[in-house]
Chains A and B, each alone.
Chain A
Amino acid sequence: MIRNSRSVNASVACRFAAALLSVVVFASCTDTAKPLPDSVRSDALGGTLVIALPRDAKWLYPPKVDQTLDFAIIGSIYDKLADIGDALNTTGDAGFEHRLAESWKWASDSLSIGFKIRADAKFHDGVPVRAEDVRFTFRAYTDTRGQTVNESYLSNIDSVSIPDSLTAVFWFKRRTPQQFFDATYQMFILPSHLLADIPIEELGTDSVTANPVGSGRFRYSGRVPQQSIEMISDTGNYRKRAKVDRVVWAVNANVQGAALSVFSGDADFFEKLQPDDLDKVPKNPDLKIVPYMQAGYSYLGFNLRSPQDHTKPNPLFSDVRVRRALTMAVDRVASARSVLDTFARPAIGPAPRMMFPNPDSLTQIPFDVVHARALLDTAGWILEPGKDVRTKNGVPLAFEIVMPNTSRPRIAYADLLVQQFRGVGAAATSRAIEGQVWYQMMLDHKFDATLGAWNVTPGMRGLPQTWGSRGMTGQNYQTYSRAAFDADVDAALGSMVPATAGRLWNRAFQQIIDDAPSIFLYEERAIGLMQKRVNPARMRADAWYSDLADWTIDANKRLPRDRQSPGAAR
């Protein structure tokens, strides 16, 4: 009986194992990553580009978009009147590329610009783009009843008039160097024929804007929430069809998931590979890295006010000698290389060097540990014999560095900072915290020092918010306030003469470098992770997706996902 029972059990176990093995074989026997034969497509057009996202898009309605990820999607579906050039010039209209506007004309007093709309430009539903759409778009962006976020950049535009159906005239309140930039860069032109009758408060959450209709080289084709957003090439577009048939924005749970989807071949591109994943790329013969410039920088900001009582200066950091000494203690060149290898270089100040007229003219605080120690001694922070940490009136030179837990380079850099500060007798600790908690801590100014980062839009219009007195109750987390800096920044932003603006920027930047409210640590090149079958076009520093419609996929490296359903790309 026992023998029979054992044979029965063995038989059951064998059958179970066989079933399991056949399931695995069945599941893996179709490898959708194998390339299709060359006969499928013989030209460079076509294919499906899968772009991995670290989260789902929040908005597909342009006036509410504030995140780069969402801009990447709407920037492919919608068009602007004109787009900024590679040089990211925001003064006048030099370098701007035509989009919906085939031409423009400045008034003699420069207080208005008339844009002539292309007669052949159409929205994806076939309705021609007209001047009324431009006027409606301005209203949609600036009406504060909608939950819009960028209307402050349009505050110099008084109104938009339409003398005829193809001409939209922007009227400005005053002359500024960035008038043309304001009229074109911020606004994606919306279809008034679809949206004008919807209450402005409902735009963005209504069913119409959930299926965006633009005039870009891609048309929206569908969305599966939390999974994907798809767009297909608009083959009848006035600027010619996009070169790939289809783009799928594939949603992942987080940054790591997005990168892994490219490593596995399920996606073709992820915009920001973390530096410590770089060593995995050479092991995969199908992958390549695509570095591109980013318009941003990272910094260590010192809170100049006491975290416990904002009316009082910070006992550690209110003294500029301490700030300069701590800046001297950091080898920014070696630290950037250690964390990001050749993909980062020391920052020059509160903007990336690509936006600054003459970065080499600035005098940076040098890396000089000996001088740093001497400066701290002068400031009264004494290192007692046998001690590691300096003190002043019984107060140790000890502080905490906080940063969001989403940035691995910053977390790694924080460790280097802690070590280097120890070398001059400062005891720093670092703590990574959840993003929302970090933001709230910054707004409440309840921190000692913070490792932050800013993306800078062309024109540096955000500087007064982040480093000026105007931003003291907002994003100027360090509460840095210097009248001379404010005046120079405002004057630079308002100067119509590039040479004058350059001189003013130089003076403002030198002021803030000398004051050292922050250590401007590094500006990094983003590291895109890409399948070798993909050939990217230009990847602009402020918008890597700007020429997504010109990306191609090698014809001899097509995959089953490159097959299109009938009518998918007309």
Chain B
Amino acid sequence: MVLRSRRLDHRRQQAATARSPVARSSPLNTFTRLLARFAQGVVVVIIASSVAFLLSRMLPGDEFTALLSSPNISAERVEQLRAQFGDNTSWLHQYFVWLGSLLHGDLLWSKSQREPVTQAIARALPHTLQLMGLAFSTSIIGGILLGTWQATRQGSVAERIASGVTFTIFSLPDFWVAMLLQLIFAFSLGWLPFGGKTDFSQNLTVVELIQQQFRYTLLPWASLTLVDVAVFARYQRAAVRDVLGQQFLRTARAKGVPESDITWKHTLRVALLPMITITGMYFPALLVGAILIETVFSWPGVGQLLIKAVEGRDYFLVSSIVVIGSAMTALGSFLADVTREFADPRLRT
């Protein structure tokens, strides 16, 4: 019986070891895994952008179709222009030209913006980074703080109210929140502008310039942040709740560690790990932006550029923005994986 018990123990130990991440991980394994994820990301980018190129090419109409809105321009002239200035090669040929250029780092020419694609995106990018960077950072911080607070106040009246509010906001589309904020603060109260980035005043002092930027950024920022804080808070609350009941926290309390330290140091450190993954998923928005928010507020970012590119059948610009978006998705996911590898001691040898 002792022998059977020892065999059982040994088998249990083997099974537990097989499941243990410590045993699975080694520096070589980690590197190999990350390299595989990177390669996977490259493949995803190529596939996603190829699909975007081919789908946009299949849309009816081209850059010359809209000329027919004017009765002064005959259909024959439109055909002449198409023959003279359009790309009359097959869509497959166009795709391989585009793919070849992409692999050489050349995003080609934007017909809707009449400048190189790189230049068009570089012009719109700072506006998107300004808005999304601000929204992203405040949403993460706000979501973590709120979610952690909710988890530690579970069952209280305040927490229930907060949960109700975040659930409601979580359920609302961000463009609807944007329009509601416009209605209240811009249209009804007249406190803030409807959209754009400037009121075209000249000779502004530095303080006035900063104030102007605040006024025009506030509503789009709030539209994004409100919804994203609610999203992040819900994930964070769930993550913190999972950690709160764990053994090591009871040990810490028994040792006399202050409750605030238990919450904000020990619990949060572990509960932040899922947030790393979620943050990675949010990463592409930093560059591609929130298309609907940019439309509601006439924000001149990459999202707006994409809308105009689709309307103008600017295939190269559409595909290039999709390349960037999918690259950011892959990069975000990859960075999240790398960060987790280092942040989670259970994954380190």
Closest A residue, CB atoms, query B217: A27
Residues on the B chain within 8 Å of A437, using CB? 59-61
Contact of A461 among B67, B72, B186 (CB under 8 A): B72
Contact of B65 among A23, A440, A461, A473 (CB under 8 A): A440
Contact of B194 with A561 in the complex, beta carbons under 8 Å: no
- The answer to whether the Cβ of A112 comes within 8 Å of any Cβ in the partner chain is no
Residues on the B chain within 8 Å of A27, using CB? 192, 211, 214-215, 218
Contact of B203 with A144 in the complex, beta carbons under 8 Å: no
Closest A residue, CB atoms, query B218: A27
Contact of A5 among B187, B212, B258, B296 (CB under 8 A): B258
With A and B bound together, what is the CA distance between A564 and B123 in angstroms? 26
Which of these binds chain A: B12-20, B24-32, B42-50, B298-306? Answer: B298-306
Instruction: State how many angstroms separate the Cβ of A37 from the closest Cβ of chain B.
Output: 16
Residues on the A chain within 8 Å of B202, using CB? 561, 563-565, 568
Residues on the A chain within 8 Å of B71, using CB? 454-457, 462-463, 465-466, 475
Contact of A250 with B215 in the complex, beta carbons under 8 Å: no
Contact of B308 with A55 in the complex, beta carbons under 8 Å: yes
Residues on the B chain within 8 Å of A298, using CB? none
Residues on the B chain within 8 Å of A28, using CB? 191-192, 215
Contact of B65 with A144 in the complex, beta carbons under 8 Å: no
Instruction: State how many angstroms separate the Cβ of B69 from the closest Cβ of chain A.
Output: 7
Interface string of A205-240 (1 = CB under 8 A from B): 100000000000000000011111010000000000
Contact of B72 with A152 in the complex, beta carbons under 8 Å: yes
With A and B bound together, what is the CA distance between A519 and B157 in angstroms? 64
- The answer to whether the Cβ of A4 comes within 8 Å of any Cβ in the partner chain is yes
Residues on the A chain within 8 Å of B307, using CB? 253
Contact of A147 with B199 in the complex, beta carbons under 8 Å: no
- The answer to whether the Cβ of A439 comes within 8 Å of any Cβ in the partner chain is yes
Within 8 A of B (CB), among A4-52: 4-5, 8-9, 23-24, 26-30, 32-33, 48, 50
With A and B bound together, what is the CA distance between A261 and B182 in angstroms? 11
Pick from A149, A153, A263, A462 the residue with the most CB of B within 10 Å: A149
Instruction: State how many angstroms separate the Cβ of A151 from the closest Cβ of chain B.
Output: 8
Residues on the A chain within 8 Å of B260, using CB? 1, 4-5, 8
Interface string of A81-116 (1 = CB under 8 A from B): 000000000000000000000000000000000000
Between A and B, how many residue pairs show CB distances below 8 Å? 202
Closest B residue, CB atoms, query A471: B75
Instruction: State how many angstroms separate the Cβ of A41 from the closest Cβ of chain B.
Output: 15
Instruction: State how many angstroms separate the Cβ of B170 from the closest Cβ of chain A.
Output: 20
Interface residues of B, count at CB 8 A: 67
With A and B bound together, what is the CA distance between A434 and B61 in angstroms? 11
Known contacts A149-B77, A261-B194, A440-B60; is-contact A50 B200 (Cβ 8 Å): yes
Instruction: State how many angstroms separate the Cβ of A105 from the closest Cβ of chain B.
Output: 28
Contact of B194 with A264 in the complex, beta carbons under 8 Å: yes
Instruction: State how many angstroms separate the Cβ of A299 from the closest Cβ of chain B.
Output: 13
Which of these binds chain A: B78-86, B89-97, B235-243, B325-333? Answer: B78-86
Contact of A4 with B61 in the complex, beta carbons under 8 Å: no
Contact of B77 with A152 in the complex, beta carbons under 8 Å: yes
With A and B bound together, what is the CA distance between A28 and B192 in angstroms? 7
Contact of B61 among A254, A440, A466 (CB under 8 A): A440
Contact of A226 with B124 in the complex, beta carbons under 8 Å: yes
Residues on the A chain within 8 Å of B84, using CB? 144, 147
Contact of A227 with B198 in the complex, beta carbons under 8 Å: yes
- The answer to whether the Cβ of B282 comes within 8 Å of any Cβ in the partner chain is no
Contact of B60 among A261, A436, A457, A473 (CB under 8 A): A436
With A and B bound together, what is the CA distance between A149 and B74 in angstroms? 9
With A and B bound together, what is the CA distance between A287 and B18 in angstroms? 74
With A and B bound together, what is the CA distance between A380 and B202 in angstroms? 71
With A and B bound together, what is the CA distance between A475 and B182 in angstroms? 41
Contact of B74 with A152 in the complex, beta carbons under 8 Å: yes
Contact of A150 with B72 in the complex, beta carbons under 8 Å: yes
- The answer to whether the Cβ of B251 comes within 8 Å of any Cβ in the partner chain is no
Residues on the A chain within 8 Å of B246, using CB? none
Instruction: State how many angstroms separate the Cβ of B162 from the closest Cβ of chain A.
Output: 11
- The answer to whether the Cβ of B76 comes within 8 Å of any Cβ in the partner chain is yes
Instruction: State how many angstroms separate the Cβ of B60 from the closest Cβ of chain A.
Output: 4
- The answer to whether the Cβ of A129 comes within 8 Å of any Cβ in the partner chain is no
With A and B bound together, what is the CA distance between A27 and B191 in angstroms? 9
Closest A residue, CB atoms, query B124: A226
Contact of B187 among A225, A264, A440, A454 (CB under 8 A): A264
With A and B bound together, what is the CA distance between A29 and B208 in angstroms? 10
Contact of B311 with A252 in the complex, beta carbons under 8 Å: no
- The answer to whether the Cβ of B9 comes within 8 Å of any Cβ in the partner chain is no
Contact of B73 among A5, A30, A152 (CB under 8 A): A152
Instruction: State how many angstroms separate the Cβ of A246 from the closest Cβ of chain B.
Output: 8
Residues on the A chain within 8 Å of B69, using CB? 66-67, 439
Closest B residue, CB atoms, query A456: B71
Contact of A436 among B65, B214, B305 (CB under 8 A): B65
With A and B bound together, what is the CA distance between A66 and B73 in angstroms? 8
- The answer to whether the Cβ of B313 comes within 8 Å of any Cβ in the partner chain is yes
Contact of A565 among B74, B197, B203, B263 (CB under 8 A): B203
Interface string of A119-163 (1 = CB under 8 A from B): 000000000000000000000000010010111110000000000
Contact of A439 with B78 in the complex, beta carbons under 8 Å: no
- The answer to whether the Cβ of A304 comes within 8 Å of any Cβ in the partner chain is no
With A and B bound together, what is the CA distance between A461 and B198 in angstroms? 42
Contact of B81 with A561 in the complex, beta carbons under 8 Å: no
Instruction: State how many angstroms separate the Cβ of A546 from the closest Cβ of chain B.
Output: 18
- The answer to whether the Cβ of B70 comes within 8 Å of any Cβ in the partner chain is yes
- The answer to whether the Cβ of B113 comes within 8 Å of any Cβ in the partner chain is yes
- The answer to whether the Cβ of B295 comes within 8 Å of any Cβ in the partner chain is yes
Contact of A150 among B73, B75, B295 (CB under 8 A): B73
Contact of A1 with B259 in the complex, beta carbons under 8 Å: yes
Contact of A263 with B194 in the complex, beta carbons under 8 Å: yes
With A and B bound together, what is the CA distance between A64 and B203 in angstroms? 35
Instruction: State how many angstroms separate the Cβ of B343 from the closest Cβ of chain A.
Output: 24
Contact of B200 with A252 in the complex, beta carbons under 8 Å: no
Contact of A435 with B196 in the complex, beta carbons under 8 Å: no
Contact of B194 among A33, A248, A266, A442 (CB under 8 A): A266
Residues on the B chain within 8 Å of A66, using CB? 67, 69-70, 72-73
Residues on B close to A: CB < 8 A? 59-61, 65-78, 80-81, 84-85, 113-114, 120, 123-124, 149, 182, 186-187, 190-203, 208, 211-212, 214-215, 218, 258-260, 263, 294-300, 304-305, 307-308, 311, 313
22 A/B residue pairs, CB under 8 Å, sorted by A: A5-B258, A5-B259, A5-B263, A29-B211, A33-B199, A66-B69, A144-B84, A150-B72, A151-B77, A227-B300, A228-B198, A230-B200, A253-B295, A253-B296, A261-B194, A264-B187, A266-B195, A436-B61, A437-B61, A439-B65, A475-B75, A561-B200
Q: A144-B84, A257-B295 are in contact. List 14 more A-B contacts (CB 8 A).
A: A4-B259, A4-B260, A29-B211, A224-B300, A225-B113, A227-B197, A251-B300, A253-B195, A436-B59, A436-B60, A439-B66, A443-B68, A461-B72, A475-B71
Residues on A close to B: CB < 8 A? 1-2, 4-5, 8-9, 23-24, 26-30, 32-33, 48, 50, 55-56, 66-67, 144, 147, 149-153, 204-205, 224-228, 230, 248, 250-254, 257, 260-261, 263-266, 434-437, 439-443, 454-457, 461-463, 465-466, 471, 473-475, 560-561, 563-565, 568
Give the 10 A-B residue pairs with the shortest CB-CB distance, closest first.
A474-B75, A462-B71, A436-B61, A440-B60, A27-B214, A226-B300, A264-B194, A252-B298, A260-B194, A253-B298
